[in-house]
């Protein structure tokens, strides 16, 4: 009897011990956490993976996943602005690393310095120095990066290209040579969606047309926006546009990707969230179900952007938000989020075995290519330029006048302080 009782005690103690680490991990935080982003619907699964981890670690916190639909944050950023200026910040919000963060919310002194958190979590050695510079100023570090996305990627379906007898174009000249043939067969050569995707296409075309040195020179103010190099980029962009679908303005980026997947279009230039969409939502196998190359003329250059989350001053549930940021910056969080998102981890120590063939190739390019910043996704220029550029794009889509667009950009650059 005594023996049986002792055995029971041992089993009980062992169960307690096994349970202990889990119990120790769960925080006693209470209340809510409102996370604000544009990762709704098809863009949601990766964010959900992070929220799942957060909920396990903080079972007492009610997570409010506040999303505003619209690719690249076109709608969310406007809503965020209203809330921030109205004194109603969410607990944490999505913002691109670079000028979108520094030139707006940091400049307006609306963010908390996260340097203590970076030190506490050992993140100063874990994130690349160049990235920390993009989310930092001499006064602090202002957000936690969750990923690295690539902007300059061309997507296609290998079986369809085979059927049409075309190869993925390595240059825009190659594209312009095969596009009429595709068009004659009733295939849209290049799928395009609503206007921000035209900005997205423009940056890939401009990078190819002017080269990485000139691209960087634009943003440091060394190359003028009305220089012949930029006019030439607009000219090439105009030629490429001839081979896009006329209903583009009414489509989401996912619908443009669908055109490629369904065989209505041959190619699409989109950031590698398209890989996330095709792998996670459409269940296509990278390399078999879908293929990719660097957008024409940009092999060897990685045009990047990074999503990050910050802590606004006056966040209603500050402690809960800091716990959220810890999940975002952790290796576990990063390697749960990114394989679903199509991006690679911003951390230098990520476990690449958890990533698919596309992401592994992106990781290789990220480590070996020349890296430049995206305009369309907040790295290269502040919101004044980015938003003004969107209006210039609308004008160009109607008038197709390269000189006028280049001139308008030069005026805008002055206004934006470039
Ligand atoms: C980008 C963002 C990506 C993805 C994409 C499409 O701006 O960085 O994570 O969400 O927009 O919405």
Q: What is the pLDDT of residues 404-414, one digit of tens each?
A: 999 999 999 99
Quickly tell me which residue has 């049986």 as its tokens: 4
Pocket perturbation via mutation, ligand 1, pick of 97, 151, 271, 346 by most ligand atoms within 8 A of CB:
271
Tokens for 353, please give them.
């075995």
**18 confidence band (pLDDT: 50, 70, 90):** very low
The span from the CA of 149 to the CA of 276, in Å, is 11
**3 confidence band (pLDDT: 50, 70, 90):** low
CA neighbor of 351 nearest in space, from 330, 371, 370: 330
* Whether the CB of 339 sits within 6 Å of ligand 1: no
Q: Which residue has a Cα nearest atom 7 of ligand 1?
A: 72
**8 confidence band (pLDDT: 50, 70, 90):** low
Helix 228-241 / helix 402-415 crossing angle, nearest 10 deg: 120
Q: How far is the CA of 180 from the centre of ligand 1 (A)?
A: 31
In this model, does residue 22 exceed pLDDT 80? no
Give the single-character DSSP code of 262.
T
pLDDT in tens, 280-328: 999 999 999 999 999 999 999 999 999 999 999 999 999 999 999 999 9
The span from the CA of 94 to the CA of 131, in Å, is 16
Q: Which helix or strand (DSSP H or E) is residue 143 part of?
A: none
In this model, does residue 21 exceed pLDDT 50? no
Say if pTM beats, i.e. exceeds, 0.85: yes
In this model, does residue 20 exceed pLDDT 70? no
pLDDT of residue 23: 43
* Whether the CB of 71 sits within 6 Å of ligand 1: yes
* Whether the CB of 210 sits within 6 Å of ligand 1: no
Q: How far is the CA of 306 from the centre of ligand 1 (A)?
A: 9
Q: Which residue has a Cα nearest atom 11 of ligand 1?
A: 72
In this model, does residue 228 exceed pLDDT 90? yes
Tell which atom from ligand 1 comes closest to the C-alpha of 71: 12
> For residues 131-145, b (16+ Cβ closer than 10 Å) or e, as one string?
bbebbbeeeebbbbb
Whole-number Cα distances in Å, 69 to 34, 135, 191, 355: 16, 25, 21, 26
* Whether the CB of 377 sits within 6 Å of ligand 1: yes
The sign of the torsion formed by the CA atoms of 51, 52, 58, 64 equals positive
* Mean pLDDT, residues 98-108: 95
pLDDT of residue 19: 44
Tell which atom from ligand 1 comes closest to the C-alpha of 341: 9
The span from the CA of 204 to the CA of 207, in Å, is 5
Residue 317, SS3 per DSSP:
coil
């Amino acid at each position: 009897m005594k023996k049986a009782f002792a055995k029971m005690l041992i089993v009980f103690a062992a169960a307690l011990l096994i349970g202990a680490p889990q119990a120790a991990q769960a925080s006693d935080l209470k209340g809510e956490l409102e996370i604000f982003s544009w990762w709704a619907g098809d863009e949601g699964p990766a964010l959900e993976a992070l929220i799942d981890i957060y909920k396990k670690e903080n079972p007492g916190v009610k997570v409010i996943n506040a999303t505003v639909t619209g690719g690249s944050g076109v709608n969310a950023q406007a809503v965020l602005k209203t809330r921030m200026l109205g004194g109603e910040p969410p607990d944490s919000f999505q913002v691109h690393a670079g000028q979108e963060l520094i030139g707006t919310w940091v400049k307006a002194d609306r963010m908390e310095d996260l340097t203590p958190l970076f030190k506490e979590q050992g993140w100063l050695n874990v994130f690349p120095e160049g990235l920390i510079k993009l989310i930092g100023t001499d006064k602090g570090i202002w957000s936690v990066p969750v990923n690295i996305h690539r902007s300059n990627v061309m997507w296609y379906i290998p079986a369809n290209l085979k059927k049409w007898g075309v190869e993925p174009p390595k240059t825009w000249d190659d594209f312009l040579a095969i596009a009429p043939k595709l068009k004659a067969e009733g295939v849209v050569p290049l799928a395009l969606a609503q206007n921000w995707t035209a900005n997205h296409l423009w940056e890939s075309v401009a990078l190819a047309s002017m080269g990485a040195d000139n691209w960087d020179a634009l943003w440091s103010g060394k190359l003028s926006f009305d220089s012949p190099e930029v006019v030439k980029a607009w000219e090439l962009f105009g030629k490429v546009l001839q081979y896009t679908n006329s209903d583009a303005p009414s489509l989401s980026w996912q619908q443009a990707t669908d055109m490629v997947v369904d065989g209505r279009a041959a190619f699409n230039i989109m950031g590698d969230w398209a890989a996330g969409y095709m792998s996670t939502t459409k269940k296509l196998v990278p390399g078999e179900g879908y293929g990719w190359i660097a957008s024409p003329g940009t092999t060897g250059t990685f045009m990047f952007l990074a999503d990050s989350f910050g802590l606004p001053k006056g966040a209603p549930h500050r402690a809960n938000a800091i716990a959220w940021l810890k999940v975002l910056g952790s290796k576990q969080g990063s390697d749960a989020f990114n394989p679903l998102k199509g991006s690679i981890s911003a951390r230098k120590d990520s476990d690449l075995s958890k990533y698919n063939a596309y992401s592994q190739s992106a990781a290789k390019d990220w480590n070996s290519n020349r890296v430049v910043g995206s305009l369309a996704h907040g790295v290269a220029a502040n919101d004044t330029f980015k938003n003004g550029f969107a209006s210039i794009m609308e004008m160009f889509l109607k008038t197709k006048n390269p000189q006028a667009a280049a001139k308008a950009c030069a005026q805008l650059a002055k206004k934006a302080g470039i």
